[in-house]
A and B are shown apart, each in its own frame.
Chain A
Amino acid sequence: MRSQSLDAEGVKADFPILKKKVHGKRLVYLDNAATTQKPRSVVDAVSGYYTKHNANPHRGVHQLSIEATEVFDESRRKVMRFINAARFEEVVFTSGATDSLNLVRYGWGSKHIKGDDLIVLTIMEHHSNIVPWQLLAAEKGARIEFVGITKEGELDEGRFEELMAESPALVAFTHCSNVLGTINDAKKLCSSAKRAGATTVVDAAQSVPHMKTDVQDIDCDFLAFSGHKMLAPMGIGIVYGRREKLAEAQPYRSGGDMIKEVHTSGATWNDLPYKFEAGTQNVEGAVGLGAAIDYLEALGMDRVRQHEEDLLDYALQKLEGAPGITVYGPKRPSDGAGVISFNLGDIHPHDIASILDEEGVAVRSGHHCAQPLIEELGITAATRASFYVYNSREDVDELMNALAKARRIFCI
């Protein structure tokens, strides 16, 4: 199968920014869970949109407006195929995963969540899949329960099932933890939640970029992700919504484009998905997302996943063999995405990140917008390395060299 594997060096050559030197060193970019770099083809697609097709879609009868509408729709079709949505109208453009989750909170949640309803979340959520529900719960007088994790960093499925017995109205969980890399069995969780009568929301910000995702197979009601974490520009994201759920949701933002008719006496809503896309949309972002999907599909999502599993396997071996390192989360590469959080002795992660930066190695340090999880782990912060298609074993070696330097400086 070796010949089938992804050629990271070849991929690297497609990303202009990776030729950059940082502090005189080769850039080793390991902060992919925060955002990813962009291949030349995505940058070209965005500039190509402006040099060839730019106009306001849906609004004009002139040629350019028609072209802008076409490229916008074409990107939506690419997303639809990529996540295997059944229908065009189930794919809504947003500004990112955060915006997508807020759309569900205001559009569906505000209308359907009542006082005394139960909302179930997990302790491994990113703040963007906690705070909107806390605000909704406060507004409605609803209750929130968090499902914890096991010692291995896996979701406590026993507790999850217990809570399902309490008939929650809404269950929102991350498909893949941005700290632990834990991959949750989204299909199983959605099936339990559905049986319990709950509406399901999957935060797929860390899964869609890294593994084949099939919304019909998962059978969720909503699924959210960001373009910028999958090679596309910032400011574009997606919320997938099951048609019936989108139909029963109210508009999230209001104004132009999202209406069918407006009279002084009131307005009626546009068809799906446009009902949720008020105002002029981020067409360049959508075009960039389409180009990113083309790039990923050319690599093959199975190979992307295999590549990250290989890197995770290699990195876990190296880190676990190094003195003073504590790794959080699943220790088997097949259970985790390409995300590793760790601590080195008692060195504060910000000090580690500064020393690594000096070596050209970009990692993230802090609470990773997941404070409840960091508290649950009994730490105040962690250092995180996260991989993507252009990372290689050499990058992991550079990480280990830089960590050795940190160890020398702090005499650990």
Chain B
Amino acid sequence: MSSSDIYRELILDYYRNPRNFGKLDPHDIESRDSNPLCGDEVEIQVKVSPDNKIEDIRFHGKGCAISQASASMLTELAKGKPLEWVKELSKEDILKMLGTSDLGPARIKCALLSMKVLKTGVYGYLGASLEDSDR
């Protein structure tokens, strides 16, 4: 698949009308990162349920269509899933979510930024709660 085939209606719709866009208060997880090459930014906030599931999730940020649509689609996919699910997420899952098999080295970082942000947040949260239960 060529890289510009990614710009299908679905992606553009998520870019123009992002689902789960905004902030979440209160939240249990907050994580943000940027892509120095593109200047893409994504911040994700998560509310965690007592049984360690993603009860609610929001993102905000700015950047190219791929980074922002990917973040929006990821929040939809993640809602209701156990935190453990996030740990298992892979590049292939994100490409499948975007409906493409390859993006090429220049743009793959845009697509994967939100996954990196969510993983970093969840790892931090699980690390922190692990320490809590150790005490």
What residues of chain A have their CB less than 8 Å away from a CB belonging to chain B?
Answer: 23, 347-351, 354-355, 357-358, 366-367, 380-381, 409-411
Q: Which of B1-9, B25-33, B71-79, B81-89 contacts A (4 or more CB under 8 A)?
A: B1-9
Sampled A-B contacts (26; CB under 8 Å): A23-B2, A347-B65, A348-B38, A348-B64, A349-B64, A350-B64, A350-B66, A350-B107, A351-B7, A351-B65, A351-B66, A354-B7, A354-B106, A354-B107, A355-B7, A366-B37, A366-B38, A366-B39, A367-B39, A380-B39, A381-B38, A409-B4, A409-B7, A409-B12, A410-B65, A411-B12
In chain B, what residue has the closest Cβ to A347?
Answer: B65
In the complex, given contacts A23-B2, A380-B62, what are 5 additional A-B residue pairs having Cβ atoms less than 8 angstroms apart? A347-B65, A354-B107, A357-B4, A409-B7, A409-B12
- Measured in the bound complex, the distance between the Cα atoms of B62 and A355 in whole Å is 19
Instruction: Looking at the assembled complex, report how far the CB atom of A87 sits from the nearest CB atom of chain B, in whole angstroms.
Output: 42
- B51-108 contacts to A (CB < 8 Å): 62-66, 106-107
When the two chains form their complex, are residues B3 and A350 in contact, meaning their CB atoms are under 8 A apart? no
In chain B, what residue has the closest Cβ to A367?
Answer: B39
- Measured in the bound complex, the distance between the Cα atoms of B6 and A366 in whole Å is 20
Instruction: Looking at the assembled complex, report how far the CB atom of B135 sits from the nearest CB atom of chain A, in whole angstroms.
Output: 43
Instruction: Looking at the assembled complex, report how far the CB atom of B98 sits from the nearest CB atom of chain A, in whole angstroms.
Output: 13
- Measured in the bound complex, the distance between the Cα atoms of B37 and A411 in whole Å is 26
Instruction: Looking at the assembled complex, report how far the CB atom of B31 sits from the nearest CB atom of chain A, in whole angstroms.
Output: 21
Q: A380-B62, A409-B12, A410-B12 are in contact. Are A350 and B4 (CB under 8 A)?
A: no
Instruction: Looking at the assembled complex, report how far the CB atom of B87 sits from the nearest CB atom of chain A, in whole angstroms.
Output: 29
User: B residues within 8 A CB of A350?
Assistant: 38, 40, 63-64, 66, 107, 110
When the two chains form their complex, are residues B7 and A348 in contact, meaning their CB atoms are under 8 A apart? no
B7's partner among A23, A381, A410 (CB-CB below 8 A) is A410
Count B interface residues, CB 8 Å. 18
Most buried by A among B3, B4, B65, B107: B4
B4's partner among A348, A349, A358, A380 (CB-CB below 8 A) is A358
User: B residues within 8 A CB of A23?
Assistant: 2
In chain B, what residue has the closest Cβ to A358?
Answer: B4
Instruction: Looking at the assembled complex, report how far the CB atom of B5 sits from the nearest CB atom of chain A, in whole angstroms.
Output: 8
User: B residues within 8 A CB of A380?
Assistant: 39, 62
In chain B, what residue has the closest Cβ to A405?
Answer: B4
When the two chains form their complex, are residues B3 and A358 in contact, meaning their CB atoms are under 8 A apart? yes
Instruction: Looking at the assembled complex, report how far the CB atom of A356 sits from the nearest CB atom of chain B, in whole angstroms.
Output: 9
Q: A366-B38, A366-B39 are in contact. Are A355 and B4 (CB under 8 A)?
A: yes
In chain A, what residue has the closest Cβ to B6?
Answer: A354
User: A residues within 8 A CB of B107?
Assistant: 350, 354
User: B residues within 8 A CB of A351?
Assistant: 7, 64-66
Instruction: Looking at the assembled complex, report how far the CB atom of B92 sits from the nearest CB atom of chain A, in whole angstroms.
Output: 21
When the two chains form their complex, are residues A348 and B65 in contact, meaning their CB atoms are under 8 A apart? yes
Q: A351-B64, A354-B106 are in contact. Are A381 and B39 (CB under 8 A)?
A: yes
User: A residues within 8 A CB of B4?
Assistant: 354-355, 357-358, 409
- Measured in the bound complex, the distance between the Cα atoms of B62 and A348 in whole Å is 9
Most buried by B among A349, A354, A357, A380: A354
Sort A-B residue pairs by CB-CB distance and give the 6 closest, nearest first: A348-B64, A358-B4, A350-B64, A355-B4, A409-B7, A351-B65
- Measured in the bound complex, the distance between the Cα atoms of B6 and A344 in whole Å is 19
Instruction: Looking at the assembled complex, report how far the CB atom of B43 sits from the nearest CB atom of chain A, in whole angstroms.
Output: 15
- Measured in the bound complex, the distance between the Cα atoms of B62 and A152 in whole Å is 27
Instruction: Looking at the assembled complex, report how far the CB atom of A233 sits from the nearest CB atom of chain B, in whole angstroms.
Output: 24
